[in-house]
């Protein structure tokens, strides 16, 4: 496996990180590459990862950490059992990762839909059966999605602990979209089964979110 460290010439900590990882890589027989962010290879990689901070560490092509690690932390990262793509622990960078960017972006779409719906519901339609639909476009589509995006982005950085990434956030997102849309459509179409299915899917997305965030708040070592 390959260990890549992205560094910058103007970053005083990068030398420290390079020392730690050069030793750790040699000890474990990994290939070790240092990439300068000012050079084309480093810049291209940093751009692909949306990287805003150095030093940044990739193990097997996956962004695993930013900042300087102690030799002990380096060892833990190398031996972390969670290497599989579907259950990956990952640090968050300064910029939004694509999953969190999409949570935030789509939250705004739901906000506009909800506002429009409530406005039309009270002004043009006298029947209020659709009220839970528009209210949950707001509470689920906007509030819940904002919490998904912001909390997954901020909590790993507040605590310094990695979060479950890989396909988990996308599964959470897919369930949430299907859930909210199904739930709202169920009320609008008067289809009770659709409401229940939407409710259950939304709940599952919340359960995945809790599963991802829990180890950020309560890491195993602590």
SS3 sequence of 52-114:
CCCCEEEECCEEEEECCCCHHHHHHHHHCCCCCHHHCEECCCCCCCHHHHHHHHHHHHHHHHH
Residue partners of 49: CB distance under 8 A and separation at least 6:
56, 58, 63, 93
Q: Which of 62, 75, 150, 178 is in the footprint of other proteins by CB under 8 A? A: 150
196 binds other proteins (CB under 8 A): yes
- Specify the stretch interacting with other proteins by CB under 8 A; choose among 22-30, 47-55, 109-117, 151-159: 151-159
Distance of alpha carbon 101 from alpha carbon 89, whole angstroms:
18
Closest to other proteins by CB, 83 or 139: 139
Phi, psi values for residue 3, rounded to 5°: -110, 125
What size, in residues, is the chain?
222
Rg (CA), the chain: 22
69 binds other proteins (CB under 8 A): no
Q: Which residues of 129-138 are buried (b: 16+ CB within 10 A; e: fewer)?
A: ebeebbbbbb
Closest to ligand HEM by CB, 70 or 122: 122
Binding mask 154-193 for other proteins (x = CB under 8 A): xx--xx--------------------------------x-
Select the binding partner of residue 131 from ligand HEM, other proteins, none (C-beta < 5 to 8 A, by kind): ligand HEM
111 binds other proteins (CB under 8 A): no
**How far apart are CB 212 and ligand HEM at their closest, in Å?**
17
Closest to ligand HEM by CB, 75 or 104: 104
Instruction: Measure the CA angle with vertex 183, ends 101 and 116; round to 5°.
Output: 70
Residues that bind other proteins (CB under 8 A): 139, 143, 147, 150-151, 154-155, 158-159, 192, 195-196, 199-200, 202-203, 206-207, 209-210, 213-214, 217-218
């Amino acid at each position: 496996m390959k260990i890549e460290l992205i560094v910058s010439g103007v970053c005083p900590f990068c030398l420290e990180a390079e020392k730690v990882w050069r030793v750790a890589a040699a000890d474990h027989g990994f290939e070790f590459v240092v990439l300068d962010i000012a050079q084309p290879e480093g810049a291209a990689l940093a751009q692909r990862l949306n990287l805003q901070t150095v030093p940044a560490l990739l193990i097997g092509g996956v962004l695993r950490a930013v900042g300087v690690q102690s030799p002990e932390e380096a060892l833990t990262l190398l031996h972390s059992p969670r290497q599989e793509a579907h259950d990956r622990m990952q640090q968050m960078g300064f910029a939004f990762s694509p999953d969190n960017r999409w949570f935030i972006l789509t939250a705004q779409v739901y906000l506009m839909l909800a506002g429009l719906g409530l406005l039309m519901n009270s002004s043009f339609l006298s029947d209020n059966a659709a009220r839970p639909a528009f209210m949950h476009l707001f509470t689920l589509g906007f509030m819940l999605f904002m919490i998904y995006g912001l909390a997954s982005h901020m909590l790993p950085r507040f605590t310094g602990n990695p979060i479950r990434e890989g396909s988990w956030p996308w599964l959470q997102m897919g369930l949430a979209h299907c859930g909210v849309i199904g739930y709202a459509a169920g009320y609008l179409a008067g289809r009770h089964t659709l409401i229940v299915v939407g409710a259950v899917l939304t709940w599952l997305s919340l359960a995945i979110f809790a599963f991802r965030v829990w180890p950020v708040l309560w890491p195993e070592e602590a």
